[in-house]
Amino acid sequence: MRAAIVRAFNAPLEVTDVPTPEPGPEQVLVRIEASGLCHTDIHAWRGDWPVKPSPPFIPGHEGVGIVEAIGASVTRVAVGQRVALPWLATACGTCDHCVGGWETLCESQQNTGYSVDGGYAEYAVADARYVGLVPKGIDPVDAAPLTCAGVTTYKAVKVAGTRSSDLVAVFGVGGLGHLAVQYAAIAGGTVVAVDLFDDKLEQAKTLGATYTVNAREQDVAAEIQGLGGADQAIVTAVSPRAFEQAFASLRRGGTLSMVGLPADNDMTLPIFETVLQGITVRGSIVGTRKDLAEVFELHRLGRTRVVREVRRLDSVNEDFAAVEAGEVTARLVFTF
Ligand code: NAD
Ligand code: ZN
Ligand code: ZN
């Protein structure tokens, strides 16, 4: 099968033929139809984070495709079904987090395209208990970005607690952020989109943002405070500076919802202001299988729009560079 492989951190990915994997007893073999490019794949390739993958590995945690074979113990999915392979490849199923409906916090989890091979390939194997079930009627090229960008921002809005009278600031309106804008609007929030690029801000307006702020040209905190301050700020931008600006944009009692994972791991959080203004700071990591099912259902009902462009795996190195440079206004999706 064709696959894109990270041989070493920061070295160009190699697109080559490798053996097709075989499913274990609890696994399915999936013929990948579409596979989204998440900024996390770039962090994985660069070895940006404190916990690193071990090259060689196949990136990608937005793979969507058709089940071609199932292991002996698999009952949840059948051959021919369309499934999604999310970041949470597998978890223990028995710890407090798993039984509490927070399998995304399991300490024994494996992660697709990071600790186990992912979706930048014609085939992938996956734990049948953790794949997303893609409803009929959803284009696989739409389902792919929903599998991470969608579920992650849906969950971030959910845990931030957005309600109908809230002002929600979304920092970074790229792959994740363009969906965050929509989920915040669906929750009833009035959305202010923040980015460095005017084309992304214009697009955010067409997706439901009422206000936009260009962080390169405007004083972000002053602009958002001028609107009354944000009840929630959801930060998908890949820069600690954006997290600090988001904090400064909050209204008293507001919530900073951290989603982006910049290589530079530290931000300044002022203690006095956090205490006196009753600010909540919380992290949000992807979403559960239940969240992903809800994301697919919203899309099936026509309530979300995935802005994406199709690429071939051969251009993966140029595509990584373009996303890092902020040159693409859509989620890039590889098809096979
Ligand atoms: P992306 O490159 O598509 O989007 C990032 C956006 O942020 C771009 O539009 C960029 O122009 C904008 N941006 C960069 N610096 C900014 C700044 N200072 N102010 C405002 N906007 C700025 O990336 P993506 O795929 O949406 O991923 C975003 C981040 O989220 C990555 O760090 C990724 O690893 C992380 N992520 C986290 C989770 C999670 O579960 N928490 C899940 C998926 C991705
Ligand atoms: Zn992702
Ligand atoms: Zn567990």
* pLDDT given at position 305: 98
- Fold of the CATH domain 2-134+306-335: Quinone Oxidoreductase; Chain A, domain 1 (3.90.180)
Inter-residue contact 139 to 82 (CB < 8 Å): no
Per-residue pLDDT tens over the stretch 84-109? 999 999 999 999 999 999 999 999 99
Per-residue pLDDT tens over the stretch 238-248? 999 999 999 99
Q: What is the mean pLDDT of residues 272-299?
A: 98
Per-residue pLDDT tens over the stretch 279-292? 999 999 999 999 99
Inter-residue contact 319 to 311 (CB < 8 Å): yes
Per-residue pLDDT tens over the stretch 139-152? 999 999 999 999 99
Count how many residues are written for the chain: 336
Question: How confident is the prediction for the chain on average, in pLDDT?
Answer: 98
Per-residue pLDDT tens over the stretch 126-141? 999 999 999 999 999 9
- Say how far apart CA 317 and CA 164 lie, in whole Å: 42
Pull the structure tokens for residue 307.
Answer: 């802005």
Output the CA 271–ligand 2 centroid distance in Å: 31
Q: What is the mean pLDDT of residues 269-285?
A: 98
SS3 327: coil
Kind plus residue range of the DSSP H or E element containing 33 = strand 27-36
C-alpha atoms less than 13 angstroms from C-alpha of 93 in its C-beta half-sphere: 6
Residue 295 pLDDT class (50, 70, 90 cuts): very high
* Identity at 181, one-letter amino acid code: V
Torsions phi, psi for 91 (to 5 deg) = -145, 175
Ligand closest to CA 101: 3
Output the CA 103–ligand 1 centroid distance in Å: 23
* pLDDT given at position 279: 98
Residue 122 pLDDT class (50, 70, 90 cuts): very high
Q: Where in the chain is the domain with CATH 3.40.50.720?
A: 150-283
- Say how far apart CA 186 and CA 184 lie, in whole Å: 5
* pLDDT given at position 128: 98
Output the CA 132–ligand 1 centroid distance in Å: 23
Per-residue pLDDT tens over the stretch 171-219? 999 999 999 999 999 999 999 999 999 999 999 999 999 999 999 999 9
Q: How far is CA 164 from the centre of its chain?
A: 24
Torsions phi, psi for 68 (to 5 deg) = -105, -25
Considering only CA atoms, which of 44, 50, 63 is closest in space to residue 5? Answer: 44
Q: Where in the chain is the domain with CATH 3.90.180.10?
A: 2-134+306-335
Output the CA 23–ligand 1 centroid distance in Å: 33
* pLDDT given at position 314: 98
* pLDDT given at position 121: 98
Per-residue pLDDT tens over the stretch 33-47? 999 999 999 999 999
What stretches of the chain adopt beta strand conformation (E)? 2-5, 14-17, 27-36, 63-70, 82-85, 88-90, 110-111, 123-127, 132-133, 167-171, 190-195, 209-214, 230-235, 250-258, 280-283, 308-311, 331-335
Output the CA 222–ligand 2 centroid distance in Å: 31
Per-residue pLDDT tens over the stretch 44-85? 999 999 999 999 999 999 999 999 999 999 999 999 999 999
Residue 228 pLDDT class (50, 70, 90 cuts): very high
C-alpha atoms less than 13 angstroms from C-alpha of 94 in its C-beta half-sphere: 1
- Say how far apart CA 59 and CA 204 lie, in whole Å: 28
Per-residue pLDDT tens over the stretch 308-326? 999 999 999 999 999 999 9
* pLDDT given at position 115: 98
* pLDDT given at position 141: 98
| Ligand 2 (single-atom ion) residues, CB below 5 Å | 38, 40, 148
Q: Of all atoms in ligand 1, which is nearest to the CA of residue 324?
A: 2
Handedness of CA 237, 241, 244, 250 (dihedral sign): negative
| Domain 150-283, classified CATH 3.40.50.720, yes or no | yes
* pLDDT given at position 138: 98
Q: Of all atoms in ligand 1, which is nearest to the CA of residue 149?
A: 43
Ligand 1 environment, Cβ below 6 A: 38-40, 43, 148, 152, 171-177, 194-197, 200, 215, 236-239, 241-242, 259-262, 284-286, 323, 326
Ligand closest to CA 238: 1
* pLDDT given at position 225: 98
Considering only CA atoms, which of 334, 327, 289 is closest in space to residue 308? Answer: 334
Pocket test of ligand 1: the residue of 52, 114, 157, 176 to mutate, having most ligand atoms within 8 Å of its CB, is 176
